[in-house]
Amino acid sequence: MGRRFSIPLKFFGVFLLTILLVAGAFIATLNSLRIQVSRNEARAVADQVTAFRSWVAQSGMVWVQKLAPGFHDFLDEQPDASGGTFYGKNPALATRELAMIATREAARTSFRVTSDNWRKEENAPDAFEKAAIVSFQQDKNLPFVEKYEEGKYRYAQPLLMEQACLQCHGDPKDAPKMVLEKYGREKAFGYKVGQVRGVISVIVPAIGINDVLKSLANPYSLALLAISLVLNILFIRSVVVRLIELTRNAEAIAAGKLETVLNYTNPSESNDELDHLYHAVNLLKRSLVILFKRVGGGKQG
């Protein structure tokens, strides 16, 4: 067998291993935290989009008196009392324009509503969204699909058919005339309540580990780290250093230096096992002193 490691080296090894394990658990926790934060942000956006789309669908249509620059599309138009025109926007169109505004003006999050049975080419799903739609169609209980992609957090939530949606996505014969005129009779029809119409797709900038670490570099965390270091230093001084000192004292006594002084607290006043060990060595030293005196006295006689 090879030489055994010293106690300080063993302690350092255990301490280092503990630090690595704690660091690993810490990193895993940070990763879980950043995913949860991104997921909650994306879910909040998706829930708001669902509520907005449901409100428009239940209202039938959103009517505006003026078409904003860049948003000239509409489904229907009606004259107003003053000779102007009201323009009607259906749920899909209103949601799409909301998404365009959010993408253009939002600081972080963007979203879009897409389907595997789209009516306009620009609403076609990308690879992530296609896979999400298939997943939701295969598992009706799946609440969301998520993925990190090119430094971004991707989130998809199913868009389910409601009763109010059937007028424009159920049987073509029940659809309003303007819907048929604008989109035809072939696309995005034939759905039933509860079926997956598509997904609400949300993109959030990914939170990096460095960002999380920076947020943790606060006075409280630094104070706890300092306390941890102080506690480890105190443990080294109270245990490891004393063991080294005892080893050297024992070696000196074994070499005949019986005048070596052992500094410790009497076991009657201490529960520290090191004090007990020091006391045992001190008793051994006293026995050696008595033995040497007897041997020396016998020789003189």
Q: Name the residue ranges covered by the structural domains of the chain.
A: 7-207, 218-294
User: Which run of H or of E encompasses 17?
Assistant: helix 7-59
Closest CA to 141 of 160, 124, 155, 154: 160
Q: Considering only CA atoms, give the Rg of the chain.
A: 38
Q: Residues 122-132: pLDDT tens digits?
A: 889 999 999 99
Q: Residues 155-189: pLDDT tens digits?
A: 999 999 888 888 888 888 888 888 888 888 888 89
pLDDT band, very low/low/confident/very high, at 1 (cuts 50, 70, 90): very low
Closest CA to 115 of 52, 30, 172, 200: 200
Tell me the one-letter amino acid at 242.
R
Top-confidence residue, 115 or 6: 115
Top-confidence residue, 208 or 237: 237
Spacing of C-alpha 276 from chain mean position: 49
Q: How far apart are alpha carbons 210 and 205 in whole angstroms? A: 14
Burial class of residue 35 (count of CB atoms within 10 Å of its CB; 0-12, 13-18, 19+): middle
pLDDT score recorded for residue 187? 87
Residue 199 in this model has a pLDDT that exceeds 90: yes
